Chain A
Amino acid sequence: LAKTTQPISMDSYEGQEVNITCSHNNIATNDYITWYQQFPSQGPRFIIQGYKTKVTNEVASLFIPADRKSSTLSLPRVSLSDTAVYYCLVVSYSSASKIIFGSGTRLSIRP
């Protein structure tokens, strides 16, 4: 299973765009890139998933370059409520039941 590396923490301010980059150099052909968000005292919550290029939903965008060895989660115009831990995962299509959470990126948003 591909291992992911992401910054331990990031700080930003309300209204800014935040980009969190994740490295997954050993990603395999069957692997999808998935991001989860975890607020304090809650379980992780799915944000977005992609295979290549760009994916956008109502919460975030996910940019994946052609080599797929990294990905960037983009949160537009963050607010205080976006303060959370963000996990980047690589999930294999054939064995999703064994997903591995890394240490995540602790994002702190300030007024």
Chain B
Amino acid sequence: DTAVSQTPKYLVTQMGNDKSIKCEQNLGHDTMYWYKQDSKKFLKIMFSYNNKELIINETVPNRFSPKSPDKAHLNLHINSLELGDSAVYFCASSQTWEGGPTDTQYFGPGTRLTVL
């Protein structure tokens, strides 16, 4: 069973379009995250949700809007896509957000977004 799953795996779209990436975790974790990994492989956190509530928003443009319908799902909607949004987006989850040994993050397989 896949612990953290994302769909789609690949997403190719035109500038200006709106797209969504879905994430689901079956680990029973309380906290979920979205990360962006650019072409230079830097992995940057974008958002973090704990029990459906936003706890981190790392200066991400308003065009990015996460939505957590329940604590097992955290979807990422992107409006008006730009060339610079091309990257791999990773979803992750952890048991809590309090840190320490219990908060290992489990990552999904990633979604490669290409904006043309």
Contacts and interface: CB of A to CB of B under 8 A. Distances in A.
Given A97-B56, A101-B44, A43 B107 contact: yes
B111 to A, nearest CB: 10
B20 interface: no
B66 interface: no
Contacts of A32: 99-101
Contact of A49 (B41, B58, B104): B104
Contacts of A25: none
Interface string B71-84: 00000000000000
Interface residues of A, number: 26
A98 B110 CA distance: 19
A44 B104 CA distance: 11
B109 A98 contact: no
B94 interface: yes
A43 B45 contact: no
Given A91-B103, A97-B33, A103-B42, A43 B108 contact: yes
B107 A44 contact: yes
B107 A45 contact: yes
Given A43-B92, A43-B109, A43-B110, A98 B100 contact: no
A78 interface: no
Interface of A: 30, 32, 34, 36, 41-46, 49, 85, 87, 91-101, 103-104
